[in-house]
Structure 1
């Protein structure tokens, strides 16, 4: 690996010589893990800045969604299922694990199909707190199609491409590294409309060589002023993506305006259940429960920079809470919770500048 990396890094240095500064943003938490684990930023010239964007599906979920799930647990005797990292996200010092400790039936699952199996074997209503981008949406969609009468989805799924479009206008970013996992589903075709902004993009794999090669491809495109859409991850990402997965998503979900932590409301970015499956929608089924719901602010998070980190405006070390009041063991912001969160990754591997 060393020889290949050295050659790519040398080419990066050659291509970057004429730039005063180049800002590249990657859009995947797994990419940040690769970047930090292998200290890739230390291999780059000082004028090439590699920023982390909103690529963590746990991190971008707004507090309002989490509060709604808490509210449902407080008002209804349901079995609440979700992934382990989502269960650790705090609001006012509480998390889903807090509610489980208080006797609420909160169960950690590894997939939506585990939650579906629970519903098939229980008489109580089972709610799956569904998170993730297009990578996990197809599985949720299949589960919805197979759902028994006591199985419901609280959808915090988000479509990723609209978030990219929200970032691009008036952007200071010179090039984007598009998410690999999402791209296996949506394909190269999903990003074609974004080329109108004139900012080069490359879909990247997850090995150090993939990330470095993607940076090199972007530098060449930026240097030549070519608004290219490139695919470095050709071994996994097809032009059309996963057609069957996209078909089942289109059948089960419809796009609505959705709120993202740090990015605000993004048009057509929330994946809500379509009318054909709205009887599986927890927010509609428990509509009476949510009538008196009023979102609040978590004062503990006023100094949290998670939203700025998700926009590439700050690094974890810019946050006064990082590794002081906010740690992986006792997180305040969601960026410190998920293994795809930039703060959690930096806490794991150390400063990655």
Structure 2
């Protein structure tokens, strides 16, 4: 129990660990669907504290990690154009495309800039009317409202030199794909609290009903995760499958209705490719036809660009919970944060990066 000393409330942490150990009669497989939760679990040793009761498998919850290879290649092609300022969050710059990454494009003279908000890109478009400013808009439902507002703001300001390369993905269809896989071992999910803060919780009810799987909405602090695990294990042991909210201080059933209205107006649901996984029907957003003039894929004619994943990178198996990062033959050797083969090693929310950073380099795959 050496990890418990690191918790903000070690007494409560010990009680939660004891409660899980008391109720569990077998080892349950639970998937967290958030890269931030993955890092919290590995950093705080929750998987080791609960090794006899729970096997944590890491789902496709890292937005950088699941951004498809062709989207990266499209961003690279756009960023190499002399008239373009390509704006992105910093963790996208090292994500490898087919041949290079955005960091390398910048090193060769491309105007690639790190921003902290999509509205920063809108401001750059105002300040540089003779340049084309493109924002690389990726992520789950959490970041989508801000990206939607950037497009709305660009239209309101009459900016014809702003566009967005959109690669938004949706959590529930990805969870459904995991559950439908013949090799699925997941018996319960920890759902990402920040996604539910935007979208509410009702979107998970059909999954609970159709697959008879508990889904517990939880946060990212160790105590939040332990409480979520306790709730999930109690349901599993009782043979129940329910949707539970263990993060009520931030999540309500309806979510952020204002944000949802903006999303409904700005985006439309589409099929989306997930890096290392493939196309999941109805799992993404693209810009609605009303905002097609801001679609960078159309503006720069890169829609038809396709790419093939490296056979050496097993990030898709990691993202589907089929293997742990050290089980990939390239992990820690050919693939490191300095020389990543896939986004799961370079993203700040990637499972491979978590295992590498926190020295889980051995063969402990349990």
TM-score (norm 2): 0.91
| Residue matched to 1:57 | 63
Report the secondary structure of 2:65's partner residue.
Answer: coil
Deviations 1:315-337, CA, capped at 9 Å, x for gaps:
11111221212111221210011
Report the secondary structure of 1:246's partner residue.
Answer: helix
| Residue matched to 2:133 | 126
Residue 150 of structure 1 pairs with residue 156 of structure 2: no
| Residue matched to 1:166 | 177
How many aligned residue pairs are there? 346
Aligned mates of 1:181, 1:30 — CA distance in 2: 10
Is residue 16–residue 45 contact of structure 1 (8 Å, CA) maintained in 2? Answer: no
| Residue matched to 1:224 | 238
Aligned mates of 1:74, 1:38 — CA distance in 2: 41
| Residue matched to 1:319 | 328
Shift of 1:130: 0.5
| Residue matched to 1:337 | 346
- Residue 273 (structure 2) aligned to one of 259, 265, 275: 259
Unaligned runs of 5+ in 1: none
- Residue 8 (structure 1) aligned to one of 16, 23, 27: 16
| Residue matched to 1:180 | 193
Is residue 262–residue 311 contact of structure 1 (8 Å, CA) maintained in 2? Answer: no
Is residue 200–residue 256 contact of structure 2 (8 Å, CA) maintained in 1? Answer: yes
| Residue matched to 2:203 | 190
TM-score (norm 1): 0.94
Aligned mates of 2:36, 2:258 — CA distance in 1: 24
Large movers: runs of 4+ above 6 Å: none
Aligned mates of 1:227, 1:237 — CA distance in 2: 20
Deviations 1:70-110, CA, capped at 9 Å, x for gaps:
22334563111111111110124510111111111111111
Aligned mates of 2:45, 2:140 — CA distance in 1: 27
Is residue 34–residue 61 contact of structure 2 (8 Å, CA) maintained in 1? Answer: yes
Aligned mates of 1:9, 1:320 — CA distance in 2: 33
| Residue matched to 1:84 | 90
Aligned mates of 1:266, 1:193 — CA distance in 2: 17
| Residue matched to 1:214 | 228
Which has the larger displacement, 335-344 or 170-179? 170-179
Which has the larger displacement, 146-155 or 328-337? 328-337
Q: 1:46 to 1:162 in 2, by over 3 A?
A: same
Unaligned runs of 5+ in 2: 1-8
Deviations 1:86-139, CA, capped at 9 Å, x for gaps:
111012451011111111111111110111111110021111111111111000
Shift of 1:22: 1.3
Aligned mates of 2:162, 2:92 — CA distance in 1: 19
Aligned mates of 1:244, 1:313 — CA distance in 2: 37
Q: 1:317 to 1:45 in 2, by over 3 A?
A: closer
Residue 94 of structure 1 pairs with residue 108 of structure 2: no
Deviations 1:25-48, CA, capped at 9 Å, x for gaps:
000111111111110111114252
Deviations 1:280-308, CA, capped at 9 Å, x for gaps:
11112223xx37x542335xx32211111
